[in-house]
Structure formats: structure tokens, C-alpha cells
Chain A
């Protein structure tokens, strides 16, 4: 046994092992919390005012990095939702839909600008409330969210050019429900195109991450957006259900689990409501033997450990061509060891806190399932903070296509590694899933790239890159990953009726 192992190692000796066991140590570099203001208590933002919830209920939002309470926020019930929808309807009929498009545009530009001005504060709050590394909230979430508003602001008075031979008309009141993994960014993805196309909005934040949306409400106030055009609610699943079921909502936009997406689709049956669903995924990330391996390994790491793996398009199924399997797995393990897990506010942190206790339990459940299914488990040996919800970056090798860890969305820092021999085989394996949100391919051969990108049944395909996003780039799924697109020209369609003139 040992001899064979040694043999195969010498065989791969042409690849250099990176040395991470140097004396380099990073000193803590925490972002200063004092640059952000968080109120002790937040009300609901309805009709341009901060209104106490008629439910009279509040809930705590905590910092998952240390389990400390950050604030207390209102819990909207049906009556609150009704109030918000009425405000949105009133604003739609009397102000927003009749406002000259170029004026509407300037409000949206204003929101983008103020977000940029307050980017640091927003980044800190996003990391405090959700547990994501400040490096990501600072360099990705917040700037991309602001850019989204800026991008769609420009569409407002150009809609006549968007759909050949058709005019557009707004739908009315859009009810929007967003997840906890990219709170402010998802809010931007939903609010910006809705406003640009002339709709008004009732949006609900996720239960565990309400704070940046409440800061966005302050920005909207500051931008002097007419009252009722955007109404921001906090609450739980019952609040979301009240929005979905409200008879005066014309459009539902939801980002979240496939399970809830299906419930929403059923709930709106028999109504005229339009719907877009951006749901789960189990993306295949495929490395061919002719790929630039070190770059591919970096891409895989980014693909699965970005935002603690709380990403619907995460590259959670890795397919490695058999000839390079050993080398890739070894390099992945080495790289896993070098990832810094810890305080989300530390600028050196690669992997922050798991968003909630509930999500940490889900991840642990899947790790147990994977072990019981017979896959080989490997986890970084890094230390974890004593308090808070953390999970070491993990991977499974020897995974079978039928294993649950290869079929179901884990939504955490857990990678399933599988292997393949031929192109046809990997296409079939990659597409063998009810999901179809994203996929990745790594190869140095152009013709192979385009063969793969056209054959893979997913809405976003990254070739020799992964987890890239841009306001001008449409995002959304095939199959059970949902329908409708967010971002780009195609992201306008879900918010308009096309009129044949």
C-alpha cells in the first residue's frame, strides 16, 4: 500500500507543492465598527415614514460572529403588509407611473450615489448582520448593489429601445422577497429594475439580515423618493406569505429556496400575478486535464467558499478529469489549509461566520450524511473562534453521483469532488440534476469551452472563471432553479407588459 502511494506521488513530482508553513502570520486588521450607526430599534418603512408595526411585535437580529444582539426590528404582519401595499398602490397611481421617465431616472441615480457615499458604513453593517467577510461586503456586495441602481437608472427613459416593435407598460405594485446571503445586493437586484420600469415596491428582508435594508430605507428617505414608491418591511416567512397572497400585488419576485419557490408558484395560481423565481442550485464546476491547474484550483476555492458557500450559484459539485484528480485534490487540500476563518470584520478573513445557527445545523447535517454515504471527508485544521457560528472549509472526495451531497444544495463551505473521463460523460453528469442555475468549466482549449458552455443546461456559465456578477449581465436559472432574469437588458422584461402598437 505504502509503496504504491509513494509511486504515484513520485509520478506527480513534476508539479510543485506550494509551501504555506512559513513564519508568516497575519496581525488582526479589524474594520472599525464605530464607522457604522445601528439604531437600538427599527420600525417599518411604509409610505415614506417609519411606522410602528400594527402587529406590535419585534424580533432581535444578532451578529452571527459572536451571537450578540445588534438591534431589535419590527415584525410586519398581514395588516402591516396591507398598509404597505396600499401605500405602494397610491404612489403608483398618483405619482410614479405618470412621472416623466427622466425624472424617475434621477431619483434612482440619487439612490446609487448616496449608497456609494455610505459604502463603508453599509459594508460594515452587512458583515455584522450577516457574517460575511468585510473584504467581500466592501469589495463586492455594496459596490455591486450601488452599481445596479446606477445601471437601471439609465434604462428608465430608454425602455422604448429595449423591446423591438413593442412598447412597455409597468405592472403596478411589485412584491419582493429576498434572501439572507446577499441582503443589500439582492434588494438592489429587485428594486432597481422595478423602479426603472415604473413600478412601485413592497420589499421584505430576510429574518436574519434586516439591517442593510433598513439603512437603504434611510438612503431612500434622504434621496427624497416620493412616499410609498418603495416600502421596506422586516419580518419572517408569514410576512412574505402575506405579500405573496395580497390581492393588490401585481408581481412577485422571489429569491430563495426551490421549496419555497414552488409554494409561491402554487399560491399565485388563479391570479393575474406575474412571477420571477431565482432559486437553488447545485452547480457543476468542471476541470479538464488541459486546464491551467493552479488558476482552476483558485477558481474552485472561490466558487465554493465565496460568502461561506451561501451562494445559490456556488460551484458545489466539482468534476475533475481522472488523470489530474490526485493533483487537484492535493492542491485543494493545501489551499483549504491556508484559508483564514474568523472575524468577519477582519480584513484578512477569507471565510466569515455562518449566517445563522439554523444554517450551521443544516451544514452539519449534510456533513454527517456525506460521511454516512461513504464519501471521504477532509476539513481544514484551522482554529475557530470560541463564540459564533463557524464551519471549517470542507470537502468530500470519492463522492458518487447519486449521493445526497452531490444532489442537494448544502449552502455552506462544503465541496463534493467527483471525477470523469470523457467529455460526454461529464456533460451528462453535470446536467443530471433538477437544478440549472450556473456551471463552470476550466480548460485551455477554446473549442472545448464552447462545446461545454452550449451543452450545459444552466442560466449562467463561467468559463475559466467563477462567481462573477455585473449589473449588465443577466442572471437566472433553467429548470428548477427558477425563471426570469435579473440584471442587464433581459432583467427589464419581468417588470413590464409588452404592448403591441
Chain B
């Protein structure tokens, strides 16, 4: 060990006892990226995380590596929210989607910043956020209109009133587009039509660009959207896709990749409880092709209702 050197203290003590070092730059408060289940922001129950990086190799965050258990919790939350959300008036759902757009507009800067961190340019990021806001407004408007377009009053030959209307399928599990530069716009594009139609959903965010998904959950949380209507997990599709399509209390699954082996697995697994399965593997979300009421109809069922009409001959015609 030998000799001990006593260093000269670097601490300068002023006469009145206050540190005279010039103030350092303010330390930034970093955000912990969480998942969104039932209107709350837990970390994953598994305690696991992964570190996505951008093209330059910069670490984005310690993002939750969600587990099957997180997914199951999210399905419970989505199922619980189902009757409330589908029971809202269509007009009210439209107002809430519009409110989501308002909240997103107010936090534009944050989303642009995150998109730039995830390899977008400032200009592209601005355009993408604007397009995501506009897409929400687009679907806000459809909430109380698509039913009129796709309903019918059916002129049956017997003495009955008969009509067919779309109704939400129920709980939808969504693997958000993964190989997609527009991580925010594509996420909004797959969620909005599902909830506009009165479904609830569990969404797995883009694995490599997850930041906007978590921040979007914060937008949802401040938009009057009831907890559980949209649940957002971060993690690896390679781990979770199986569970997304396997769960017996999920009514429909949306998958957006071209992976044909996985698509085959999804269709096979969906047979367990006859989930409706939809593939959006070649949609360009950045254009107008990425929005249409037909996306809403992909998670709707048609219900037909019959009731007799009293048919008394002597009552004659009404005119």
C-alpha cells in the first residue's frame, strides 16, 4: 500500500459557505417509457426491457419488453371496456377521436422530436405528425356515418320490417406495422378505424421505433378516451405475435407484415375461436390509400333484425 498522498482539496469554500462554482447546464429529466393498460401506465410485469437504437447507434430508451402476461392483462382491460365503448353514442365516439387529434396537435413538438430521434428528418417528421392528426380527424368524422353507408333496409317479401346494421366485432389485437418509417402515422392508421367502429384493442407497437407509441398513449390518456379502449404494449413481435392470435377472448387480429410463414401460423391459430383475421401487408399508410371506411368495416359484423308488421287488409293503404 505504501504512502498515502493527501490531495489538495478542490473544494472552494467561500467566506459565506456557498459553492462558488459557476452553475452547470440544467440536467434534463428523461422520460421512463411505459406501457399502457386499462388507462394506467405500468412498466411490464416481467421487469424486462430492451434498448432500441437509431441508425447512428444512439440508445433511444430502456423500453418495456412486454410479456404474455402483460398481453393477457391488456385483453382483460379491453374486454371490460368493450360494452361501455360500443355503447357510447357514435357521435360521442366521434368527439373523442376529435379530442385525440386536438391533444396530438398540442404535443406536436414532442412527436417531431421523437421521430427525429428515430431517424426521420425534421421536415418529414413535421409532415408525418400533421398527417397523423388529420387521420384522426378523418376517422372522427366517420364514427357516426359509416353505419349509414353500410346499413340496409331489406325489402323482404313477407310482412316484416327487416334491416341490417354494422356492429363492432369486439376485442381486436393489432400488431402495428413494423417495417415502416412512419411509426406514428401507421400506428394511428391501424388504431383509429378499429375504435371508430366501437371496438377495443390491444396494440403491439413498432419494435424498433417504439417511442411515439408510448407518447401517443399519453395523448389517449388525456383525450376522454375511456381506459382500456386502447391498450399499447412495447416489445418483440417475435415473442408476442403467437399470443396475440391465440387468446380465446380476442375476436379479431390485424397483422401488417408480409412474412408468409407467420401469416400462415396466424390463420391457423385464428381457427381456434374463429377470429376474424385481417392482413394489411401492402398498404401505403403515408397516402390517402391508408384511410377509408372499408378499414372500419374490417372489424365490423353485420346484424340483421326482423320484426312483423301487422297486416290487416281492411286498414287499407296510408295514402
A interface with B by C-beta (< 8 Å): 147, 164-166, 258, 261-263, 265-266, 268-270, 277, 279, 434, 449, 453-454, 458-465, 468, 470, 472-476, 478-480, 482-483, 485, 488-490, 498, 500
The residue in chain B whose Cβ has the minimal distance to the Cβ of A475 is B304
Interface centre among B164, B264, B266, by most chain A C-beta atoms within 10 angstroms, is B164
Interface centre among B152, B263, B301, B308, by most chain A C-beta atoms within 10 angstroms, is B301
Contact of B264 among A270, A459, A465 (CB under 8 A): A270
Least CB distance from B63 to A in Å reads 32
The residue in chain A whose Cβ has the minimal distance to the Cβ of B149 is A164
* Contact of A266 with B305 in the complex, beta carbons under 8 Å: no
Interface centre among B149, B263, B274, by most chain A C-beta atoms within 10 angstroms, is B274
Contact with A along B286-309 (1 / 0, CB 8 A): 000100101000000111111110
Interface size class of B (residues with CB under 8 A): 35 or more
* Contact of A470 with B162 in the complex, beta carbons under 8 Å: yes
| Interface hits, B139-155 → A, CB 8 Å | 149, 152, 154-155
A98 to B149, CA, bound (A): 29
* Contact of A480 with B273 in the complex, beta carbons under 8 Å: yes
A266 to B264, CA, bound (A): 9
Tally of A-B Cβ pairs under 8 angstroms = 113
Contact of A270 among B157, B263, B307, B308 (CB under 8 A): B263
Chain A neighbourhood of B304, CB < 8 A: 459-461, 473-475, 488
Whether, in the assembled complex, B268 has its beta carbon less than 8 Å from a beta carbon of chain A, the answer is yes
* Contact of B302 with A459 in the complex, beta carbons under 8 Å: yes
* Contact of A473 with B294 in the complex, beta carbons under 8 Å: no
A478 to B162, CA, bound (A): 18
Interface centre among A263, A265, A277, by most chain B C-beta atoms within 10 angstroms, is A265
> What are 25 A-B contacts defined by CB distance under 8 Å?
A164-B149, A261-B274, A265-B270, A265-B274, A270-B263, A270-B264, A434-B273, A453-B303, A461-B305, A462-B305, A468-B306, A472-B155, A473-B154, A474-B302, A479-B251, A480-B273, A480-B274, A483-B276, A483-B301, A488-B304, A489-B152, A490-B164, A490-B302, A500-B289, A500-B292
Contact of B271 among A266, A459, A478, A488 (CB under 8 A): A266
Additional pairs, 5, CB under 8 Å, beyond known A164-B149, A266-B268, A462-B305 = A269-B267, A461-B303, A465-B308, A485-B302, A490-B152
A279 to B155, CA, bound (A): 25
* Contact of A258 with B302 in the complex, beta carbons under 8 Å: no
Chain B neighbourhood of A279, CB < 8 A: 274
A265 to B156, CA, bound (A): 32
Whether, in the assembled complex, B107 has its beta carbon less than 8 Å from a beta carbon of chain A, the answer is no
Whether, in the assembled complex, B88 has its beta carbon less than 8 Å from a beta carbon of chain A, the answer is no
